[in-house]
Amino acid sequence: MPIYEFSCQKCNSNFETFVISHKNINSVQCPKCGSKKVQKVVSAFNCGCSSGGSLSFGGSSGCGGGSTRFG
Ligand SMILES: [Zn+2]
């Protein structure tokens, strides 16, 4: 099952959600605050750094869509 982990940029909560297609990733909302400013968590980056500032994603190409800048 395509379950992805997301991190909310607004309330900083992580959650997992069922994503049917890649289109749905853009319409994922935080179940806690309802914000759409969510960032897909890449498992490869799961290094155990719980506290921290902003993570920069931008290495992988082909991830079309609007670019969001934090900070
Ligand atoms: Zn949230």
What are the structural domain ranges in the chain?
3-45
How far does the chain reach from its first CA to its final CA, in angstroms? 33
Residue 10 CA to ligand 1 centre (angstroms): 5
Q: Which two tokens stand for residue 71?
A: 């900070």
Residue 11, by phi and psi: left (phi above 0), alpha (psi -120 to 50) or beta?
A: alpha
Residue 17 CA to ligand 1 centre (angstroms): 13
Tens digit of each residue's pLDDT, the chain (71 residues): 688 899 999 999 999 998 888 777 788 999 999 999 999 987 655 555 555 555 555 554 444 455 566 65
Q: What is the pTM of this model?
A: 0.55
The pLDDT value recorded for residue 71 is 57
- How many Å separate Cα 45 from the centre of its chain? 12
Neighbours of ion ligand 1 (CB under 5 A): 8, 10-11, 30, 32-33, 35
Contact between 6 and 14 (Cβ < 8 Å): yes
* H or E segment to which residue 14 belongs: strand 14-18
Which CATH architecture describes the domain 3-45?
A: Single Sheet (2.20)
